[in-house]
Amino acid sequence: MDAKILIESFAEFARSKNVDRPTMIRILEDVFRAMIRKKFETDENFDVTINADKGDLEIFRIREIVDDNSEDIWDFDKISFTEARKIEPDFEIGEEVYEKIELEEFGRRAVQMARQTLIQRIKDLEKDILYNKYEEQVGEIVSAEVYQILGREILLIDGDGNELILPKGEQIPKDRFRKGDTVKAIVHRVDMNNGNPKIILSRTSPVFLERLFENEVPEVYDGLITIVKIVREPGERAKVAVESYDDRIDPVGACVGMKGSRIHAVVRELQNENIDVINYTENLDLYVTRALSPAKVSSITVDQDRKRISVFLKPDQVSLAIGKGGFNIKLASRLVGYEIDVFRELNEYDDEDVDLSEFVDEIDGWIIDELKKTGLDTAKSVLALTKEDLTRRTELEEETIDEIFRILRQEFEQ
């Protein structure tokens, strides 16, 4: 393989990988200089000129002519007067000899190895470019097409044919994709696995929801409205705390849009995830009240040392505060940064009801605490629920729940 074919084939391959010309030339020179060092032990006195467009390569070995008896005659950049005269009869001592080295002089094996090295260098460069490209896009939304659905992940292809990965754990539980579907997600992270970049996407990250708001709400994109915090149970419910430094802008109204036009687009993308947008405030009591919406809070007690908040509500508001599957209270706790305990206000006229604390001799204390965490603090409030409701709200086993029902019913039968 001569130099022209080698360079042209490499240049064509490099261009197909979108490698710029200066980088292409630098790689070519690095590889040819590696060949020179292997053959001549050094490349310090060699000049390498490459024209990738024409496939031209010129390698010159530069040496100074010295007297045959000079002590420097064995230096890598020196040539004896006698040897120089063989190249050009009219050379004189002190002049420089530019001796052209043909690619064939390196041997066929060295040239083949150079070709393989060039291709590998481009592939490595391509990996670096891909890694850097997506490293800069971490936290940003990308769109890609599904091309393979596996048990634990979905493989997607971006516009340049690069493979992206959407793991099962980063998918919204209600997501159902088919081959050829276009998927929106954020770049969650970029790993390097055995020298190969691995781009991980996410649709469950709070950042994904934040970027969707930026796309749908110009005031958020422009910085007029700030998203203070987002907490999510992907596919079920999310709470978004927002604030505006401009009194003329209603941050909640701007995010929801006229008749919900802005937030509906976000909800659809998140598989009908319920989104509560609330006004952020540094007033903790008010913040908790807003976070527990749509429930109406009667009173709040804050324990700063234990980072716990006790919230008291009317009986008909307890289930609203807890929410379906307990998501409302869980998200409210994460949003405000405190553990929230919900308590039912005792009705002074309901003399027949009994506080759960009265059953400590028959029901373990940790079980009573577990029930109270979900707003169930009286016997009747527990008995008003079905076994399935109680199983869903708590982490109690079915046998334990059956025993609780038996003890509480026995109290009223007496």
Tens digit of pLDDT for each residue in 242-282? 999 888 899 999 999 888 889 999 999 999 999 999 999 99
Residue pair 42/56 in contact (Cβ under 8 Å)? The answer is no
Residue 352: partners with Cβ closer than 8 Å, 6 or more residues away = 380, 412
Does the structure show a pLDDT above 70 at 414?
A: no
pLDDT at 375 over 60: yes
Angle among Cα 240, 187, 151 to the nearest 5 degrees reads 100
Q: Are residues 155 and 263 in the same domain?
A: no
CA distance 120 to 130: 15
pLDDT band at residue 344 under the 50/70/90 scheme: confident
Domain end (from 109, 132, 155): 132
pTM, entire model: 0.69
Mean pLDDT of the chain: 87
Distance CA 387, CA 384 (A): 10
Q: Does residue 295 lie in a domain region?
A: no
Per the document, the length of the chain is 414
Q: Is 257 a domain residue?
A: yes
Q: Residue range 227-241: average pLDDT?
A: 95
- Domain match, 117 and 32 both: yes
Residue 10 and residue 126 in one domain? yes
326 in any annotated domain: no
Which residue from 33, 62, 70, 73 is spatially nearest to 50, judged by alpha carbons? 33
Which is nearest to 79 in space by CA: 102, 88, 49? 88
What is the domain extent for residue 168?
Answer: 143-204
- Does the pLDDT of residue 53 top 80, yes or no? no
- How far apart are alpha carbons 172 and 253 in whole angstroms? 26
CATH number, domain of 260, equals: 3.30.300.20
What is the chain's Cα-based Rg? 37
Q: What is the pLDDT of residue 350?
A: 52
Task: Specify whether 70 is located in the same domain as 53.
Answer: yes
Residue pair 3/105 in contact (Cβ under 8 Å)? The answer is no
In a domain, 379, yes or no: yes
The pLDDT value given to residue 274: 92
| Residue found by looking up tokens 């965490």 in the block | 373
Q: Which residues pair with 311 in a beta bridge?
A: 300, 342
The pair phi, psi for residue 140, each rounded to 5°, is -105, 155
Same domain, 189 and 127: no
Question: Span 11-36, mean pLDDT?
Answer: 82
Sign of CA dihedral 248, 249, 250, 253: positive
Tell me how far apart the alpha carbons of residues 380 and 353 are, in angstroms, rounded to a whole number: 6
Q: How many structural domains does the chain have? A: 4
Q: What is the DSSP letter of 371?
A: H
User: In angstroms, rounded to a whole number, what is the distance separating the alpha carbons of residues 130 and 14?
Assistant: 15
Dihedral sign for Cα 391, 394, 395, 398, please. negative
Q: Which CATH number does the domain housing residue 193 bear?
A: 2.40.50.140
Give 349's pLDDT tier (boundaries 50, 70, 90).
Answer: very low
Q: Are residues 149 and 49 in the same domain?
A: no
Contact yes or no for 213/220 (Cβ under 8 A): yes
Task: Please report whether residue 316 resides in a domain.
Answer: no
The per-residue pLDDT for range 63-104, each reduced to its tens digit, is 999 988 888 888 888 889 888 888 888 888 888 889 888 888
Q: What is the pLDDT of residues 114-145, one digit of tens each?
A: 888 888 888 888 888 889 899 999 999 999 99
Torsions phi, psi of 144, nearest 5? -150, 160
d(CA 358, CA 410): 14
Q: What is the mean pLDDT of residues 337-364?
A: 77
Most confident of 108-112, 167-171, 306-310, 347-351: 167-171
Least confident stretch, 27-31, 163-167, 232-236: 27-31
Q: Which residues contact 298 (CB under 8 A, 6 or more apart)?
A: 312, 313, 314, 317, 345
- Interval 288-306 mean pLDDT: 89
pLDDT of residue 234: 94
Residue finishing a domain among 81, 99, 132: 132
Question: Is residue 299 domain-resident?
Answer: no
State how far the alpha carbon of 5 is from the alpha carbons of 114, 246, 368, in Å: 13, 66, 82
- Domain assignment present for 64: yes
Q: What stretches of 197-244 show up as alpha helix (H) in DSSP?
A: 206-216, 218-221
Distance CA 146, CA 165 (A): 10
Over 90: is that where the pLDDT of 322 sits?
no
